[in-house]
Amino acid sequence: MIRIFSTYTWVVQSFIFLLIFMVLLLLYSTRKFTYWKRKGVFNPQPIPLLGNMSDIFLMRKNLVQWICSLYASTDAPFLGFFAFDEPYLMLRCPKLIQRVLIQDFSYFADRNMASPSHDEIMKNFTFFQNNPEWKTSRTKLTPAFSSGKIKRMFHLVNNVGEDMAHYLQTKLGNIDAKEVAVEYSVSVIAKCVFGINASCFESKNSQFHRYASSLFDFTWRNTIAYILYCFKPRWVDTFRVNFFKQDSTKYFLNVFSETLQMRKMSTVRTGDFVDILRDLNESENKVVCGHAMMFFAAGFETTSNTISYTLHELCLNKCIQYKLRKEIVDNIEKYGGITYEGVQEMKYLKMCINETLRKYPVLPFLERICTKDYKVPGTDLVIDKGIPVYIPYPALHLDERYFPEPQKYIPERFLNKNFNMSGLFYMPFGEGPRNCLGERFGILSTQLALINIISRFEIEKCAVTPDPVEFSVKSFSNQSIVGLPMIVKPYEGY
């Protein structure tokens, strides 16, 4: 009898303890939920523990879709939301966005993203760094992306484009544009950033290709790391969370270190990023490798996405494809081949790329953190120091007020037009002092891929080409759940 009573008492005590714990957890996780109400700022109703992020954790939406749904919840110039238990501010007004990213940059010079001090490679990612480290790195790296330096890499990138064209010649018929674009992007980055031939078009099982692809694969480990870096940056160092898996980081460190050592022992210069990074005279290989990994991470997904979605739209819109091919073929004939000067004249090609970047943005948002109290002009709102500020540029790209019929692919939108004259609402590479350093290189890589394909092949939709594309909820950006299948045929006029 005593034993039964003792067991009953233990169960009751455990239940009471659990109940008290749950109540305390509930109170703790909701303690800041009146923050935006007290500020007079609209915010969708948060829920305990998750804030406004339930759609992410229940896998109902990916990050781009989630950001767009928050954007659509009000017409106000800004709104508040909660990432877990922390208050965040989202900007919707293009003029206010322009002030934050450009005019009043001194208040928003830092990112909210974690800058992992425990990771010797990742802490040298300029993207993650805050002042004063960011300013030092940016000053060193900016000359690496001058038009002259990019021009010297033209032949390296175009050689990969020609390899891709030869590969497609052996794969006539059904292809997945995303797979081809990934192989091209990995090959370009391997050649220009790591100074090696990745042989991606010869073998998908090349070691470089495997490690490169694994960096952005959907795994629960990658997903949790990404969410923590974006929304719980203080936990990153506490729990020593690495953005990339350590075996991948070590592999790229070894590859780059070997290439760098060989270059230091040689007088040969190829004009790639290895030469540029060698000239920085950094004392540690980990610092230089951090820069190289940043170039890789920044360029890989952007380039492959833009190439594949442009091809997807061209196969659905044959008139646009014919118009683009005519510009490309006429230009090649005029210059006697694919040349740097000729590429700069291909205006319609650039319009197509701009429209792809508008309709299929790569990142889900731009973000900054307020470094000192900032009074929003024309309002009573003061953004407190330490509040993260999010800019939902994918939602702006799809807002019909700025881009009529936003779901239609219309390259002519960009004909002699600057959308950002009265505020920022088109910004695929960011804006202001922290805009993307690699924009020129990314655009050139994309241009050369499309030129080499469209000048040699016709692309058509097949029975399983998605229209419209249905996006996976398991990806960080807008990735098609079925890939981007299409048919590739030789262009007889080339």
- Tens digits of per-residue pLDDT, 132-143? 999 988 888 888
Let me know: does 295 contact 273? Beta carbons within 8 Å.
yes
Dump pLDDT digits (tens) for 72-85: 999 999 999 999 99
**CATH, range 36-490:** 1.10.630.10
Give the type of residue at 441. Answer: F
Q: What percent of the chain has pLDDT over 90?
A: 61
| Distance, first Cα to last Cα, the chain | 94
Per-residue pLDDT, 284: 64
Q: Give the model's pLDDT for residue 460.
A: 97
Give the tens place of pLDDT for each residue, 213-251.
Answer: 777 777 788 888 888 999 999 999 889 998 888 888 888
Average pLDDT of the residues in 154-169:
95
Q: What is the pTM of this model?
A: 0.93
Whether the bond between 468 and the residue before it is cis, its omega within 30 degrees of 0, is yes
Question: Quick one: pLDDT at residue 8?
Answer: 63
Question: Is the pLDDT assigned to residue 2 strictly greater than 60?
Answer: no
Q: What does the pLDDT look like over 9-50, one tens digit per residue?
A: 777 777 788 888 888 888 888 999 999 999 999 999 999 999
Give the tokens for residue 190: 């391997």
Rounded to whole angstroms, the Cα distance separating 3 from 309 reads 69
Q: Note the pLDDT tens digit of each residue in 324-345.
A: 999 999 999 999 999 999 999 9
Question: Residue 204 has what pLDDT?
Answer: 64
Please say whether the beta carbons of 444 and 299 come within 8 A: no
pLDDT mean over 458-466: 97
Q: Would you call 367 helix, strand, or coil by DSSP?
A: strand
4 has a pLDDT exceeding 60: no
Task: Compute the average pLDDT of residues 298-315.
Answer: 93
Q: Is the confidence at residue 203, as pLDDT, over 80?
A: no
Structure token pair of residue 255: 């590859």
Among 24-28, 359-363, 457-461, the minimum mean pLDDT is found in 24-28
- Check pLDDT > 60 for residue 1: no
DSSP string, 373-386: -EEPTTSS-EE-TT
Q: What pLDDT score does 3 carry? A: 58
Kindly list the domain boundaries of the chain, sorted by start residue: 36-490
Answer whether residue 260 shows pLDDT above 90: no
Tell me the C-alpha distance between 224 and 230, whole Å: 10
Q: Say yes or no to pLDDT of 312 above 80.
A: yes
Given a cut of 60, is residue 5 above it in pLDDT? no
Per-residue pLDDT tens digits for 383-399? 999 999 999 999 999 99
Residue pointed to by tokens 């948060």: 46
Residue 493 scores a pLDDT above 80: no
What pLDDT score was predicted for residue 117? 87
What stretch of H or E contains 343? helix 340-344
Handedness of CA 444, 449, 455, 461 (dihedral sign): negative
